[in-house]
Amino acid sequence: MTKLHFTAVPHAEEAAAALKQRHGDFGPEACDIVVALGGDGYMLQTLHRFTGKGKPIYGMNRGTVGFLMNEYHQNDLPQRLAAAEKAVIHPLKMTAHTQSRVIEARAFNEVSLLRETRQAAKIRILVDGLPRLSELICDGVLVSTPVGSTAYNLSAHGPILPITADLLALTPISAFRPRRWRGALLPHRAKVRFEMAESRKRPVSAVADDFEVRDVIAVDVEEDRSISMALLYDAGHSLDERILAEQFSN
């Protein structure tokens, strides 16, 4: 028997309780699979909570968008899990430098840099130690994983990446200069460094998923292949298929 652990956002606790009564709950340490009830934001929270635990995560949508989740219904859960398709993802590692400290964080969707005041940010971009853009004047810029490419990255007019693509998306947010720069596709091994110009006058914050560091002077971003997380999806509704279908949606 597959041992399950259920976790849920507050408004889905009643649904989680019904599933626990039907299937039992073996707790976060003894379980084979974590079943998360919520939306995409809760899926990200669950990924961070279980990072390094070796627990596949099966999400059921009890939120708003639910792009990363399966449909919610209580019937046939063991059969759905037995037939589920696996997507293996890796997070980004963000190393944020401020005047007084260095802070590390992980992001499964994206690392984004955002201006803190009315003044545009001025950011120098280096890839693998080589300067690629001497000055980007913008509201911000982000590095996205394939799984995050349909989220903030897509809203910023970045490309959608297949989940199996060994790529990262580097996407500007409301770029003013160079006006025609639309970003870049980078190999997944690329190491990206952002350096803030006039950081006191033009303060910038760095955000790894929902973890924010304010007043950064430099930020390093790279994929962390030492961490692998498995997401489970109903047969015929894999994450690959969802991302492909998103490219043809209205």
- The CATH number linked to 241 is 3.40.50.10330
CATH number for the domain that contains residue 115: 2.60.200.30
Residue 250, pLDDT score: 67
Assess whether 101 and 219 both reside in one domain: yes
Query: CA-to-CA distance for 115 and 9, rounded, in angstroms?
Result: 31
Cβ-contact 40, 60 below 8 angstroms? no
CA distances from 191 to 101, 130, 186, 217, 240 (A): 21, 10, 9, 17, 25
Residue 66, pLDDT score: 87
Least confident of 84-88, 89-93, 238-242: 238-242
The confidence band for 1, taking pLDDT boundaries of 50, 70 and 90, is confident
Assess whether 70 and 102 both reside in one domain: no
Cβ atoms within 10 A of the Cβ of 72, count? 16
Question: H or E stretch including 81?
Answer: helix 77-82
Assess whether 209 and 234 both reside in one domain: no
Q: pTM of the entire structure?
A: 0.92
> For the segment 109-123, what is each residue's pLDDT rounded down to a tens digit?
999 999 999 999 999
Mean pLDDT of the region 224-242: 93
Q: Has 76 been annotated as catalytic? A: no
Q: What is the CA radius of gyration of the chain?
A: 19
pLDDT for 2 beyond 80? yes
Percent of the chain with pLDDT over 90: 89
174, with CB counted inside 10 A (0-12, 13-18, 19+), is: middle
Tell me the CB-side half-sphere exposure of residue 247, using CA atoms within 13 A: 13
Residue 60, pLDDT score: 97
Assess whether 129 and 212 both reside in one domain: yes
Assess whether 156 and 34 both reside in one domain: no
Assess whether 38 and 151 both reside in one domain: no
pLDDT for 127 beyond 80? yes
Cβ atoms within 10 A of the Cβ of 21, count? 9
> For the segment 138-167, what is each residue's pLDDT rounded down to a tens digit?
999 999 999 999 999 999 999 999 999 999
Residue 77, pLDDT score: 95
Residue type, 58: Y
What is the sign, positive or negative, of the torsion defined by CA atoms of 9, 13, 15, 17? Answer: positive
Assess whether 166 and 233 both reside in one domain: no
pLDDT for 249 beyond 80? no
Assess whether 97 and 219 both reside in one domain: yes
The confidence band for 247, taking pLDDT boundaries of 50, 70 and 90, is confident
Query: CA-to-CA distance for 10 and 14, rounded, in angstroms?
Result: 8
Assess whether 49 and 126 both reside in one domain: no
**Boundaries of domain holding 240:** 4-89+228-246
Mean pLDDT of the region 134-141: 97
Residue 78, pLDDT score: 94
Assess whether 97 and 214 both reside in one domain: yes
Residue 25, pLDDT score: 96
Mean pLDDT of the region 29-47: 96
User: What is the pLDDT of the chain when averaged over all its residues?
Assistant: 95
Catalytic: which of 25, 40, 209, 220?
40
Assess whether 215 and 111 both reside in one domain: yes
Assess whether 108 and 144 both reside in one domain: yes
Total number of domains constituting the chain: 2
> For the segment 180-208, what is each residue's pLDDT rounded down to a tens digit?
899 999 999 999 999 999 999 999 999 99
**Regarding predicted confidence, which is higher, 66 or 212?**
212
> For the segment 39-80, what is each residue's pLDDT rounded down to a tens digit?
999 999 999 999 999 999 999 999 888 899 999 988 899 999
